[in-house]
Amino acid sequence: MFQPDSDIQRTSTLTGFLKDCGIDSYEGLVRRSNEEPDWFWGRIIEHAGIRFMRPYTRLRDISQGSESVKWAVGGTLNLTETCLDVRIADGLGDKVAIDWVGEDGSRRRWTYSELAAEASRVASALAARGVKPGQAVGIYMPMIPEIEAALMGIARLGAVAVPLFSGFAPAAIVSRLNDAAAVAVLTADATPRRGKPVWMEATLAKALTEVPTAHTVISLRRFGGAVANPARDLDWAETVGAASPDFAAVPVAAEDIFLIAYTSGTTGRPKGVVHTHLGAQAKATADFMLCLDMKQDDRHLWMTDMGWVMGPLTLLSVLLSGSTLILAEGAPSTPGDPFRLLRLASDMNVTHMGVAPTLVRQFMTQDSGLLTGYDLSSLRIVASTGEPWTLDAWLWQLDHICRRRAVPLNISGGTELFGAILTSTVLHEIKPGGFSAEALGVGAKVLSEDGSEARPGEVGELVVTQPPLGLTPAILRDRERYLETYWSTYPGIWRHGDWVRCDPDGTWYILGRSDDTLNIAGKRIGPPEIEAALTETGQVVEAAAIAAPDEIKGVAVVCICVPAPGVSPDAALVEQLKDQVGEIVSKPFRPREIHFVEALPKTRSMKIMRRVVRAAFLGQDPGDLSSISNPETIQPIANLQKEKS
């Protein structure tokens, strides 16, 4: 249990917002946000200072059902006006908006005025190439200041941003750009990795041979990369650098698309999740400025990629709050700098930081004595998302990162919400790995299979009963898939796909994806409970629990594990681990088999891809692999069955 400092609570943005609303508790605000969504989202728009070019006539139209809600009917805006023009008008033009550090330690800083000018140049350059409002523009770049200008510049033009993971291979790029009918792509020739360039523009050029709609590429050439097509491929310095820094924001409807975030599924092509100019701003305000207490004086660091929704969300949150984004190119942990994220937090006076449980578990394998030289006293908030915590990792974070002073705030939502369904706040006691509350304005509930609400402490499906401003209104050009994926299980209610429980004290726990659920002899369990039992032994760093066919039980538990450094797996260890699961979880879930590999397949956001583990182990089709960050891990898992036979 962790109790946030009273000074942090008293001076929090959330405390001030509650006072302004005349509400005495977060729970009271949750109730009113669910009962009066028009009032709540109106207050969020007011709190963020979202600027409309033409006022809306009605904030919310739900006459066609929750799955077809319309927001800010008749209103026009452009999110770059609020995020840039309003900030500059408020006197923040000379404040550092982006403080960038490269892999080699080099630094660049852009003020709000400089970011606005570069975004305008991007918009001007794209317009000069014939890109029109509503057309899609890909972003395939490393995490450098220009990627933020790319996102803002596309939005300023009223075009649609399509962020792509910087590590994508050509096939993944092709599928997304074709789905979006992209007409242009912003890129860089390369990104450094351990001092050597990893070529990006060349990879993009291969992909574009199969993307007939793309007529323009603008590349930031840092390493003298080759130009594939001089008629199509332009130099950033020459093209953007010569464009106008005063491009006026193009008005778009509040419901118009700001970006398309692609998320992979078990089968079929990646889903193009749509987010709007208004929805992205409103949800970022509710989640980051209120619940995660991001303030104007903060220096925020969340190492991510623009191809994951946290990339755009992090930038918007910083700009809406008027704070500073610490942007780091490269990895959060490297062999020569195992605690790089924490070193950067120390060196750059970070106050507000994001982590992932997987990264913390990586940190735990290193010598924590190295951390004594890092001054993390400036940290106030340490947020986390991506996957369930294990107890040992959460406690390690509390001791070694938060130093039992910074507040560990756990949030969970998804690409489709541009933010959270469950959250923690500085006003609550924080339990290990839990979420202290539901997010504002989402009407989160736990439903049983028959649609009834689960009792406190019972496991069920996480659902959204009050669609928030920020919930995706569509999968691009696929209404049927949108309705089938999210709205068909419980009519009129959004099913998110997570198993959760809400304890009697109001603490929520996510137990894993519902499509990962193990059903052993009629007993259901989420894989994280089994995996946590394994990692708590200290003999295993990571684990994936999957269901495999069994002649007797029908289905049995199989665990694929990564041993801790210095651990040599043998038959005795296997039995020890099996017994641990039987004792900690339940004997019916004692694994039939435990196998060891060097690494598990993960997404770019560091989530273990259990469906890929299971498919590889069983020799099945793994489905879409475009979001995997380490495909080389698949074959060793596939080989396990061969080794058995």
The stretch 252-267 carries a mean pLDDT of 85
Q: Residue 474 corresponds to which amino acid? A: A
Q: What is the pLDDT of residue 357?
A: 87
| Per-residue model confidence as pLDDT tens digits over 342-364 | 999 999 999 999 999 889 988 99
Q: Topology of domain 112-253, per CATH?
A: Rossmann fold (3.40.50)
Percent of the chain with pLDDT over 90: 81
As given in the structure block, the two tokens for residue 199 are 């070529």
| pLDDT > 90? residue 599 | yes
Cβ neighbours, 10 Å, residue 242? 11
Contact 324, 98 (CB under 8 A): yes
Q: What is the pLDDT of residue 4?
A: 97
Query: Taking all residues of the chain, what is their mean pLDDT, rounded to a whole number?
Result: 93
Cβ neighbours, 10 Å, residue 208? 24
Strand intervals (E) in 431-507:
437-438, 444-447, 459-464, 494-502
As given in the structure block, the two tokens for residue 248 are 């006026």
| Per-residue model confidence as pLDDT tens digits over 134-163 | 999 999 999 999 999 999 999 999 999 999
Q: What is the pLDDT of residue 628?
A: 85
Strand intervals (E) in 264-405:
271-276, 299-301, 324-328, 352-355, 381-384
Residue 370 — very low, low, confident or very high, per pLDDT cuts 50/70/90?
Answer: very high
Residue 272 pairs in a beta bridge with: 262
As given in the structure block, the two tokens for residue 99 are 């403080």
Domain coordinates of the chain in residue numbers? 6-80+278-512, 112-253, 517-644
| Per-residue model confidence as pLDDT tens digits over 569-597 | 999 999 999 999 988 887 888 999 999 99
What is the pTM assigned to this prediction?
0.87
| pLDDT > 80? residue 639 | yes
Q: What is the pLDDT of residue 242?
A: 97
Q: What is the pLDDT of residue 522?
A: 58
| Per-residue model confidence as pLDDT tens digits over 284-305 | 999 999 999 999 999 999 999 9
CATH number for the domain whose boundaries are 517-644: 3.30.300.30
Nearest to 616 by CA among 548, 552, 553: 548
Residue 644 — very low, low, confident or very high, per pLDDT cuts 50/70/90?
Answer: low
CATH number for the domain whose boundaries are 6-80+278-512: 3.40.50.12780
Residue 267 — very low, low, confident or very high, per pLDDT cuts 50/70/90?
Answer: very low
Query: Rounded to a whole number, what is the distance in angstroms from the first to the last CA of the chain?
Result: 48
Phi (first) and psi of residue 539, to 5 degrees? -90, -15
| pLDDT > 60? residue 444 | yes
Between 47 and 391, whose confidence is greater? Answer: 47
Cβ neighbours, 10 Å, residue 178? 16
Strand intervals (E) in 442-588:
444-447, 459-464, 494-502, 508-513, 518-520, 523-525, 540-550, 554-563
| pLDDT > 90? residue 523 | no
As given in the structure block, the two tokens for residue 268 are 């079929």
Q: Measure the CA–CA gap between 365 and 362, rounded to whole angstroms.
A: 6
Residue 264 — very low, low, confident or very high, per pLDDT cuts 50/70/90?
Answer: low
Q: What is the pLDDT of residue 266?
A: 45
| pLDDT > 90? residue 263 | no
Residue 383 pairs in a beta bridge with: 354, 409
Task: Name the range with the highest mean pLDDT among 146-150, 329-333, 447-451, 618-622.
Answer: 146-150
Chain position carrying tokens 């910087």: 166
The stretch 257-262 carries a mean pLDDT of 97
Chain position carrying tokens 């690494």: 599
The stretch 191-208 carries a mean pLDDT of 92
Same fold, 6-80+278-512 and 112-253: yes
Q: Measure the CA–CA gap between 497 and 495, rounded to whole angstroms.
A: 6
| Per-residue model confidence as pLDDT tens digits over 551-562 | 767 788 999 999
- Alpha-carbon torsion (431, 432, 434, 440), positive or negative: positive
Between 524 and 329, whose confidence is greater? Answer: 329
Residue 608 — very low, low, confident or very high, per pLDDT cuts 50/70/90?
Answer: confident
Between 228 and 388, whose confidence is greater? Answer: 228
| pLDDT > 50? residue 466 | yes
